[in-house]
Structure 1
Amino acid sequence: MNIELFITGMIIGLITSAPIGPVNVLAIRRAVHYGFLPGFIAGFGAVLADGVFATAAAFGVTAISEFVERHEFYIQTIGGLLLIIFGVVVFRSHPHLKGGSDGGPTVWRGMIVSFAMTVTNPGAILGFIAIFGSLGEHAPEKGDYIGALALVLGVLSGALLWWACLSALVSKLRNRMNDNWLSAINHGAGVVLLVFAAIILAKVGYELFC
């Protein structure tokens, strides 16, 4: 297995899972009310959906690697700009812990709800395509399906790590959680996305002018 691609996938899995949206709020609510396992299982539904999107994006990029390589400048530029937009939106969002429904105490119901939320979100697949397409030389080469698999497994591992840590933290601090915590997480995730975008665009600019 390509360890570099696996680690890259883990980083992608973490930064795509961290922004606080409906699924994160759902998982946090369930962890607050019912403990670690219901919160983690709710996040696992999002992991399954992310796995579908990551597989489509990773193997798609691998299959059309010649096209990606030929248009690398434009793909990386567009990908970097999209990440800037995602980062700003995430940074400026103000999620709320109170209100809405978490689907009740049934453990698996949370997973079904979060899977449905994620798989019906077109921004999720566009995000993976933008990130994977922006990897350039760090993306799996044409026909390197083992590398693509390592990238996908890394994404899944990073996402699982996020949901496990989030659910564990919330279940430990359930009496102290408030909307300020959610905003702080989004600020951090937004900054990471913006830094990632800046690195991509800086690389594009360097290759253009040097």
Structure 2
Amino acid sequence: MTFLEYALIGFVIGVITTAPVGPVNVMAIQHAAQSGFRQGVFVGLGAVVADAIYAAVAVFGVSAITQFIEGQFDLIKIVGGALLIVFGIKVWNTHPHLADAADGDEKGFWGDATAAFFMALTNPGTVLAFVAIFGGLGDLRPKHGDIFGKLIMVAGVAGGATTWWVFVSGMVTRFRGGIDDSWLDKANHIAGTILVVFGALIYADLLFDIF
């Protein structure tokens, strides 16, 4: 296979593992609606870093790390669920204003991009998706020793994920003309509730497995 084919396969994987609506999608939409295109993409890039890490682990077949991840699913669920619940409460209690958003709180965006990184890194669904997809690639996966081909595929994953965040942020920004402070407040309540529900579902799944 050619490097272009590896890049395209990685690109498709990046899109399909990022597109399902989850906690980071909620955060990116919230920031794009409140503060515009750049901030929505910026938050999404935090998750792209986590995706690239998992893609690299999967495609390079780092067995020790892969086995550790597979053996620590319960811990990943506990940490991920806690992050979602804590951040959901934070979002619910935040009352944004368009006037403040126009100035752009860079410190806040960095903090939320970091939160997006850890949410993606501790999301059991993300872990399972990468393990399953790369495990099933077969001959479509770069051969052993083809380091450059593997790097190209990882870059493709990052490119696909980034393209998704650009698309989502662009669509939200395109239709944000009717947004006011009241709308942002309601959106934060909805987003906060969704994040807490995601976290609660993770704990419910964990308890179900235990019992």
TM-score, length-scaled by structure 2:
0.62
In structure 2, the CA distance between the partners of 1:15 and 1:32, relative to structure 1 (3 Å rule), is: same
**Match in the other structure for 1:13:** 14
- Of 140-149 and 120-129, the range deviating more from structure 2: 120-129
What amino acid is aligned across from residue 34 of structure 1 in structure 2? S
Shift of 1:107: 2.1
Shift of 1:54: 0.6
Q: Distance in 2 between matches of 1:165 and 1:12?
A: 16
**Match in the other structure for 1:119:** 121
What amino acid is aligned across from residue 126 of structure 2 in structure 1? A
In structure 2, the CA distance between the partners of 1:176 and 1:24, relative to structure 1 (3 Å rule), is: farther
Q: Distance in 2 between matches of 1:143 and 1:51?
A: 19
**Match in the other structure for 1:110:** 112
1:50 matched to 2:63: no
Shift of 1:26: 0.5
Point out 4+ residue stretches in structure 1 off by more than 4 angstroms.
102-105, 175-179
The Cα offsets for residues 183-207 of structure 1, whole Å up to 9 and x where unpaired, read as: xxxxxxxxxxxxxxxxxxxxxxxxx
Q: Where in structure 1 are there 5+ consecutive unaligned residues?
A: 64-97, 180-210
What amino acid is aligned across from residue 125 of structure 2 in structure 1? G
Q: Distance in 1 between matches of 2:50 and 2:19?
A: 15
In structure 2, the CA distance between the partners of 1:18 and 1:117, relative to structure 1 (3 Å rule), is: same
Aligned length: 145
SS at match of 1:142: coil
In structure 2, the CA distance between the partners of 1:20 and 1:175, relative to structure 1 (3 Å rule), is: farther
1:132 matched to 2:122: no
**Match in the other structure for 1:95:** none
What amino acid is aligned across from residue 172 of structure 1 in structure 2? R
Shift of 1:27: 0.4
Shift of 1:173: 1.0
1:159 matched to 2:156: no
Select which of 98, 101, 109 maps to 2:91: 101
Shift of 1:99: 8.6
Q: Over the residues paired in the alignment, what is the CA RMSD in angstroms?
A: 2.8
The Cα offsets for residues 88-113 of structure 1, whole Å up to 9 and x where unpaired, read as: xxxxxxxxxx9961877522122111
What amino acid is aligned across from residue 31 of structure 1 in structure 2? A
SS at match of 1:174: coil
TM-score, length-scaled by structure 1:
0.62
**Match in the other structure for 2:174:** 172
What amino acid is aligned across from residue 133 of structure 1 in structure 2? G
The Cα offsets for residues 119-172 of structure 1, whole Å up to 9 and x where unpaired, read as: 112331221111011111111111111111111000000011111111111111
On the 8 A contact 1:57/1:125 being kept in 2, the answer is: no
Q: Distance in 2 between matches of 1:15 and 1:38?
A: 22
Q: How many percent identity over aligned positions?
A: 42
In structure 2, the CA distance between the partners of 1:154 and 1:161, relative to structure 1 (3 Å rule), is: same
Q: Distance in 1 between matches of 2:143 and 2:178?
A: 47
On the 8 A contact 1:54/1:125 being kept in 2, the answer is: no
